[in-house]
Structure 1
């Protein structure tokens, strides 16, 4: 199994923050006020769940794990649709009668989702770049070993030297006179 993209933590944080912020700001643009505490908490929990889903596909190739603008935009769209219902929890004034607010809310979503997806993917790639530079500056270099390693059979030991008499003809002959 391949490793996750190095920028995935930054992307998860970004999606976890962007989902509730976009949903609640669109709700505020459409209705002029923020939803109650229950709606805010549900939107924040929704953002956390969608952030956890990012990069959760197991057994895929490395190139498939790179964050793409399309996958992040799809998660943001799901987050906005579900966030719309989550923001309206406990909101008694929210209903079908207020169709005049749909235009500004839809315009906000249609502009914010693609722009946020592009920015989040750029931040993830920038995070991966900066973290790899910091890692290369703070770790000791490892020199690669090229080719085959030399086979070491035994450790070197000095050989025993034996002294023998008459080992050669270098000295003059011994005389007994």
Structure 2
């Protein structure tokens, strides 16, 4: 079983991990007019990373993928909202709740649709590129020739004569 990650799934996860803290900080800023503390932003980024891990790979219909992505982003936004609110020391925002609520209501479905559309576009581009590249020939390569040279053994020096001994000569 292969555990390869498709580029479109990786795109969806990275986009969700980035969208969650960005929308949470933007909505929090719209409500209170202040930038959250670094610990609140870090906690929101951790919630975004958790949402990215929970995000199901895009298989099948775009509407179902957009609905599941919207659900994951909604839960992550709610968690990020409470994390930022508790970090700021105020659980209820009072009169500034409407801008934050509107920011969440617009940004969550729009982000989900853009993430799913981007993943679908990336998948389509990958399919087109794979169809244009010829398949790699998987024929077995011929074995490389083996070259052998006899080892170099130096001959003993000739001590006398021509160096070749024959039968004793008769004279």
Task: State whether TM-score is above 0.5.
Answer: yes
Q: CA deviation at 1:43?
A: 0.5
The partner residue of 1:128 within 123, 132, 141 is 123
Q: CA deviation at 1:23?
A: 0.8
Aligned to 2:72: 75
Q: CA deviation at 1:90?
A: 3.0
Q: Please report the RMSD computed on the Cα atoms of aligned residues, expressed in angstroms.
A: 2.8
Distance in 2 (alpha carbons) for counterparts of 1:130 and 1:70: 23
Aligned to 2:149: none
Counting only pairs closer than 5 Å after superposition, residues 46-85 of structure 1 correspond to structure 2 as: 46-55=47-56, 63=60, 68-85=65-82
How many residue pairs end up in the alignment? 136
1:53-101 CA deviation, whole Å, 9 max, x = no partner? 1126xxxxx5389961100000110011000012124313x233x3111
Distance in 2 (alpha carbons) for counterparts of 1:66 and 1:49: 23
Stretches of structure 1 lacking an aligned partner (at least 5 in a row): 57-61, 144-177
> Quick check: which one's helix share is greater?
2
> CA contact under 8 A between 1:4 and 1:55: conserved in structure 2?
no
- After TM superposition, the score normalised by the length of structure 1 is 0.67
- After TM superposition, the score normalised by the length of structure 2 is 0.69
